[in-house]
Chains A and B, each alone.
Chain A
Amino acid sequence: MNQLHTQTKYAIKRELLRNPRFFLFNLAMPAFFYILFTKILVQGSATEKQQFNLNYMGSMIAYSVLISMIFSVSAFLAEDRQENMPTLLAITPAKQLYYYVGLMLTMTVMNILSASVILTIATIINGVHLTLSSLLLIVGLSALGGLPLMLIGVLVAKSGRPSSVNSLCNLVVFPMAIISGLWWPIGLLPHWMQQIGKLMPTYAVNSLLNVVTKQMHFNWSFIVILAGWTAALLIIIWMLSRVKNDRSIQA
C-alpha cells in the first residue's frame, strides 16, 4: 500500500500540480467553450436558454472527461515510455499495477476537478440549480465514465512516440466528440452517424449525466456500453502487452 500511495502521490504531482497542460486543456478549455456557447453564441427564449445551459453543461463535462482521459493519459504514458519509465518498472520490484492504478486515481481526481469547474460555472454564471445529491452523482458519473476513455488513452499511448500519439489523439477525440453529440446535438447528424455515435462511451456518459440533470429515463444500455468498451479495451491492452512482453532491445 505504501508503494501505491507513493505512486499515486507523485502521479498527482506530475499530472495535476506541475502540468500546465492540465489547467489549459482540461480545465480552461471546456470552461471557455461552456461560457462561449451559453453566454455569447446562444439564442432563444429564456426557458430555451436555461435548458441549453443544462444540456451543454453535461456535454462539456463529458468533453472534459474525454480530453482528460485520452489526451492526458496517452501523453503521460507515451512520455514516460520515451523516458524509459517502463524499463525502470521492469528492473525494480515496482508493481506495474500500482503504476496504472496510481494513474487511474490521478485521472479520477482530474475528472472530478474538471466536472467541478463546469458545475461551478454553470451554477454561478448560468444559474443552473442542482441538488447536492445530483452534483455528487454528476461528479461520480464523470469519474466512472472516464474509465473506458482512459483505456482508449492507454491504447493510443501504445501506438508510438509522444508526437505521433498527440496526432492520433486528435484523430480519436474530435470525431468522437462530434459523433457522440458533445459539440452539437446528435439529432443534427445523419441517421447512420447517429447509430454509431450512440455506441460511443462519450454518448453513454453524456446520457447518464442527462439522466441526472434532466431527470431523463434511465436506460441500462448506457451502462452496458460503458462496461462493454471497458471489457473490450482491457482485453486488447492485455493482448498487446503479452505480444510486447519480450521487448527485444538489440545490444
Chain B
Amino acid sequence: MSSIIELKNVSKKFKQLSAISNVNLSVDEGEIIGLVGENGAGKTTLINLILGLQKPDTGQIKVFGTNPGTTVCRNQIGAMLQENVSIKNLHVDESFQLVRSFYTHPLSLEKLFTITGLSEFRHHNMSALSGGQRRQLAFGIALAGNPRVIFLDEPTVGLDSIARTQFWQSIEQLRHQGKTIFVTSHYLEEIEAVAERLLILQHGKIKFDGSLDALTSLYSGATATFESELAVNYFKTSPLVLEAKKHGDKITLKLSDGDLWLLESQPFLDKIHRLSLMPNSLNEIFTDVTQTGGRNHESATHAN
C-alpha cells in the first residue's frame, strides 16, 4: 500500500498552548481511521493541518505527495467539519450544484441525494433545514467531489438515531469503494464499529496508534460481576483488582486483566456464582488511556 498522507515531526502551537506536538503519522489509501480524544486534544487542529487550513510551526506534511491545500490535494479531499457550511438564499440542490462545479469529477446530483436522504428537501432553502438535515447536507458537500480522502469531524452530532444509522451505512459503502476516511466522534461505539485503525490524541500527542484489536489486547481490562460467600475485601488483595464494590449480593470488580484474574481465581472459583466477565468497552479503555495514561495496566504501551 502507498502512503497518501505523511506527517513528520509536526507541531503546532497557539500562543503558549501546544495543540499538536511532534506528531508522526502515515496513512495508506483505503484506511478508515478513528480519531479520538477529549475536547482540546488536538483532533480538529490535526485535521486542519492536513487540509492546509493551518500551517505547522515545525515538521512536514505531505498529502498525495504535495503540500496540503494545493488544488491537486483539494480535488481529492472532501471534508465535513464541525461547523456546518450554509449558503444563504440557495436551495439544497443548488448548494450541491455549486460545490460540484468546484471539482473535476464530481458525484452526480442524484447520487448525493441518495446518500444524504435529502431528496425531498432539494428545493428547500438551506436556512429552512433542521440541524440534523444541515449535517446531512454537510456530508453531501464533503462527498460532492467524489474524493479519495474524506475527513469527518464529529459527523453525527445533531443526527437522530435513524439518520445516524443511515450515515454509518453510507460510510460502510464508502469503505467498500476504497475511500480513505478520517472520522472523529464522541460516540466511541460508532468509531469502534467502523474504524480499522484508531488514533488516540491527548494534549496534542498520539497516545495510541493501532488497530482496535491491538488496543483491546493492550488494555485488556474487564469487569467481573458475581455473587460469593467470600468477603469483598478478600478480592481486593489481588493486584489485578483495581476496584471492588459490593451492592447487595453482587460483587463488582474492576480488573486490569480479566483472563489473568480468571486463572488466578481457579482455587476459589467454586465460591463464585453467577459470574459475568465483560471486557472493557472502548469508552472505558479510552477513559483509561486518556485519564490515567493506561497506568491501570502493567502491559500498557502505546505505538507512538
B164 within 8 A of A: no
Q: Which residue of A lies closest to B37 (CB)?
A: A251
Set of chain A residues within 8 Å of B98, measured between Cβ atoms: 6-7, 10
Say yes or no: is A232 at the interface (Cβ < 8 Å to chain B).
no
Are A18 and B86 in contact (CB-based, < 8 A)?
no
B42, B54, B75, B87: which contacts A249 (Cβ < 8 A)?
B54
Are A87 and B53 in contact, CB atoms less than 8 angstroms apart? yes
Check if A3 is an interface residue, CB within 8 A of chain B. yes
Interface of B is mostly: loop
Smallest distance from the beta carbon of B28 to chain A beta carbons, Å? 22
Encode A7-24 as 1/0 by CB contact (under 8 A) with B: 100100111001100000
Our pick among A83, A91, A249 for the contact of B88 (Cβ within 8 Å) is A83
Scoring B43, B51, B87, B88 by chain A CB atoms within 10 A of each residue's CB, the highest score goes to: B88
Q: Across the interface, which residues of B come within 8 angstroms of A90, CB to CB? A: 51-53, 69
CB of A251 within 8 A of CB of B45, answer: yes
Task: Collect the chain B residues with CB atoms within 8 Å of residue A84's CB.
Answer: 81, 83-86
Contact partner of B44 among A18, A79, A249, CB < 8 A? A249
**Residue of A92, A248, A251 touching B43 (CB-CB under 8 A):** A251
Q: Is B303 an interface residue (CB 8 A)?
A: no
B54 CB contacts on chain A under 8 angstroms: 246-249
The answer to the question of A85 belonging to the interface, with a C-beta cut-off of 8 Å to chain B, is yes
Distance (whole angstroms) from the CB of B213 to the closest CB of chain A: 28
How many A residues, CB 8 Å from partner?
28
Counting contact residues on chain B (CB < 8 A from A), the size range is: 35 or more
Cβ of B103 within 8 Å of any chain A Cβ, yes or no, is yes
A248 touches B14 (CB 8 A): yes
* Contact call B75/A88, Cβ cutoff below 8 A: no
Report which of B45, B89, B94 forms a contact with A250, defined as CB distance below 8 A: B45
Q: Nearest A residue to B98 by beta-carbon distance?
A: A10
A247-B53, A247-B54 given; A93·B103 CB < 8 A: yes
User: Which residue of the partner chain A has the closest CB to B201?
Assistant: A251
A215 interface residue (CB < 8 Å to B): no
Minimum CB–CB distance from B150 to chain A (whole Å) comes to: 11
Q: Could you say which of B42, B45, B141 contacts A88, with CB atoms under 8 Å apart?
A: B141
Tell me, yes or no, whether A2 is within 8 Å of chain B by CB.
yes
In the complex where A84-B85, A87-B81, A87-B85 touch, is A93 in contact with B145 (Cβ < 8 A)?
yes
Interface check A216, CB cutoff 8 A: no
Judged by a CB distance under 8 angstroms, whether A48 is at the interface is no
The reply on B74 being an interface residue by CB < 8 A is yes
CB<8 Å pairs between A and B, sample of 16: A14-B88, A83-B88, A84-B81, A85-B87, A88-B99, A91-B53, A91-B74, A91-B77, A92-B74, A246-B54, A246-B55, A248-B54, A249-B48, A251-B41, A251-B42, A251-B48
Chain A positions near chain B (C-beta within 8 angstroms)? 2-3, 6-7, 10, 13-15, 18-19, 79-80, 83-85, 87-88, 90-94, 246-251
